[in-house]
Amino acid sequence: MTPEARLRHRDREMIPTVLLRAMAVLVACALLITTYATLTDRPLEAMPALDGEVEVVKERLIFLQADGVSGAARVLDSNGSVIADLDPSQGGFVAGVERVLAFERERRGETQVRPIRLVLYANGQLSLRDDQTGWRAELIGFGAKNADTFAKLLN
C-alpha cells in the first residue's frame, strides 16, 4: 500500500461510524426528553427551594455598592451602616453580584434603590433575593469561597 493510500484509509477511520451514530442517538434522546418535559409541563425538580418551602433560619437586608470595575465593594445594612468594606482582592464576587442586580433592575425599569435579602435556610442553602425584581441567586452555585463571603455578612 502506498503512503498516500494509507493516509486516505487512515483519514476515513479517524472518527468511527459507530461513534458518530451513537452521538446522533444521544442528541436525539436529549431532544426527546426535553420535548417531553416541555409538553407535559414537568416541574423543575433540581431547582432550589423557594420562600415558604423551607424554614428561614436567618435573614438580613443589605445594600450592595460596587466601585466600578475595580472589584472593590461595600456592603451596608438596612440602616446604612457599613457591614463590610472589601478591597478589589476580596470584593470581586460581591461587586459582580451588584452589577448583575443593577442590570436586572435597569432591565425592568426599577429606579428606586431598595435592599436585597440575604437568606439562610434550614437546609443550609444561602440565597440572595431581590423582592423588587424577583431576581434570586443561590450562592453555593458560585463556589464555597464566594458563598462564605456572603455567609460572613449574616453575623
The predicted pLDDT at position 111 comes to 74
The predicted pLDDT at position 22 comes to 97
The predicted pLDDT at position 114 comes to 85
Whole-prediction pTM? 0.64
Within a domain: 44: no
Taking the C-alpha atoms of residue 55 and residue 75, their distance in angstroms, rounded to an integer, is 25
Beta-carbon count within 10 A of 14 CB: 6
Provide the terminal-to-terminal Cα distance of the chain, rounded to the nearest Å. Answer: 76
Do residues 30 and 100 share a domain?
A: no
The domain total for the chain is 2
Within a domain: 110: yes
Do residues 15 and 63 share a domain?
A: no
Within a domain: 101: yes
**Letter for the amino acid at 25?**
V
The predicted pLDDT at position 109 comes to 84
**Letter for the amino acid at 13?**
E
- Domain, as residue range, for 104: 56-154
Do residues 73 and 115 share a domain?
A: yes
The predicted pLDDT at position 49 comes to 59
Do residues 66 and 23 share a domain?
A: no
Question: Given CA atoms 107, 92, 116, 143 in this order, what sign does their dihedral have?
Answer: positive
pLDDT in tens, the chain (155 residues): 787 877 776 666 677 788 999 999 999 999 999 999 999 988 776 666 565 677 888 888 888 888 777 778 888 888 888 888 887 777 788 888 888 888 888 888 887 778 888 888 888 888 888 888 888 888 888 888 888 888 888 87
Contact 54, 122 (CB under 8 A): yes
Do residues 77 and 141 share a domain?
A: yes
